[in-house]
């Protein structure tokens, strides 16, 4: 990343006002046509593409001085990627930052939707690597554009058919395709399908930015989001056998953590903020330590 000295000479939130206006226009169009991929003139950001420059540009364009920003990566606030992006916006926009889902006005994410339901006025910004859900079976951009325009989505079910033929069930677990507002089929970015139902009629505004592919798309609040499936193979989310080992939460997405080199492992909340909240509120999992005892 560029040094702080250089960044200090940049505009609020790094991007110049003209670029922000251009991106905001793309965002407004995306909101007006839920699930439709709007092309935009993606800019170079002082970080590699793999860091989610699409999401960063969207966040930079919507952030105001009064916003409170949360950044998560794999559900955690403390990974290198999340820490760096958060530090970047602290530096170039001097906004308040938080790890608390409930306190944030803007949440930039990769791989997860927070467990705590989002509320009116919040914006969730996704970093998207490949925005085109039809890409893997139809590499021609002219053809995929036509398929979206004419609502020809049979190919999405071909993909699911192949999944079942090969695995006996729909084995797609990430970036599971959805239909937005009964019209456009959309790739929800590499979130686990566990999170798909959270997109449905969410109170928050959801924005998706793909930097390398130069696309922005959106799900406005309260929009219907349906995961594609077959009548005899209905959509299902991942299920976990045990609750979180630290906070005892059920019905949350868990990550496997290796404890030692003898095969010891545990499953814990992938959403670190959610886990911490629960433990602070006195919930204790199988391998957790009660917070009051720990403090003594």
Residues that bind another protein (CB under 8 A): 137, 150-152, 154-155, 157-158, 161-162, 164-166, 229-233
Cα–Cα distance for residue pair 113/72, rounded to 1 Å: 9
Question: Cβ 91 to another protein, closest distance in Å?
Answer: 46
Residues known to be catalytic = 35, 244, 247, 269, 275
Nearer to another protein, 32 or 158 (CB): 158
Query: Binding partner of residue 244 among another protein, Zn ion, none, CB under 5 to 8 Å per kind?
Result: Zn ion
Both tokens assigned to 274: 């959610």
- 42, 19 in Cβ contact below 8 A? no
Distances (CA, A) of 59 to 24, 90, 187, 240: 10, 12, 19, 33
Site membership for Zn ion, residue 69 (CB under 5 A): no
Instruction: Count residues binding Zn ion (CB under 5 A).
Output: 6
Nearest to 66 by CA among 108, 103, 11, 115: 103
To which residue do tokens 């629960």 refer? 278
Q: For Zn ion, which residue of 269, 272, 273, 277 counts as binding (CB under 5 A)? A: 269
Both tokens assigned to 283: 């919930």
Chain positions 213 to 252 lying near Zn ion, rule: CB under 5 A, are 244, 246-247, 249
Chain positions 177 to 216 lying near Zn ion, rule: CB under 5 A, are none
Cα–Cα distance for residue pair 216/56, rounded to 1 Å: 12
Query: Binding partner of residue 152 among another protein, Zn ion, none, CB under 5 to 8 Å per kind?
Result: another protein
Nearer to another protein, 232 or 293 (CB): 232
Cα–Cα distance for residue pair 242/72, rounded to 1 Å: 24
Chain positions contacting Zn ion, by CB under 5 A: 244, 246-247, 249, 269, 275
């Amino acid at each position: 990343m560029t040094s702080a000295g250089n960044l200090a000479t940049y505009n609020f939130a790094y991007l110049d006002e003209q670029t922000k206006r251009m991106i905001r226009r793309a965002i407004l169009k995306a909101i007006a046509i839920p699930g439709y991929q709007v092309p935009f003139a993606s800019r170079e950001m002082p970080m590699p593409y793999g860091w989610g420059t699409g999401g960063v540009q969207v966040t930079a364009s919507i952030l105001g001085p009064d916003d409170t920003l949360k950044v998560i990566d794999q559900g955690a606030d403390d990974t290198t990627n999340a820490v760096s992006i958060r530090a970047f916006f602290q530096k170039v926009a001097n906004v308040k930052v938080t790890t608390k889902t409930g306190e944030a006005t803007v949440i930039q994410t990769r791989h997860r939707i927070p467990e705590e339901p989002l509320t009116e006025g919040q914006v969730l910004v996704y970093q998207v690597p490949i925005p085109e859900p039809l890409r893997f079976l139809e590499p021609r951009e002219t053809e995929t554009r036509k398929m979206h325009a004419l609502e020809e989505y049979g190919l999405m079910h071909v993909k699911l058919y192949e999944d079942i033929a090969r695995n006996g069930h729909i084995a797609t677990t990430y970036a599971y395709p959805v239909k937005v507002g009964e019209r456009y089929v959309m790739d929800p970015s590499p979130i686990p399908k566990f999170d798909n139902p959270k997109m449905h009629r969410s109170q928050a505004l959801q924005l998706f930015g793909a930097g390398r592919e130069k696309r922005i798309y959106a799900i406005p609040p309260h929009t219907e989001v349906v995961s594609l499936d077959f009548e005899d193979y209905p959509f299902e989310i991942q299920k976990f056998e045990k609750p979180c080992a630290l906070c005892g939460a059920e019905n949350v997405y868990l990550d496997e953590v290796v404890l030692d080199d003898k095969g010891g492992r545990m499953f814990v909340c992938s959403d670190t903020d959610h886990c911490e909240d629960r433990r602070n509120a006195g919930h204790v999992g199988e391998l957790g330590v009660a917070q009051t005892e720990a403090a003594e």
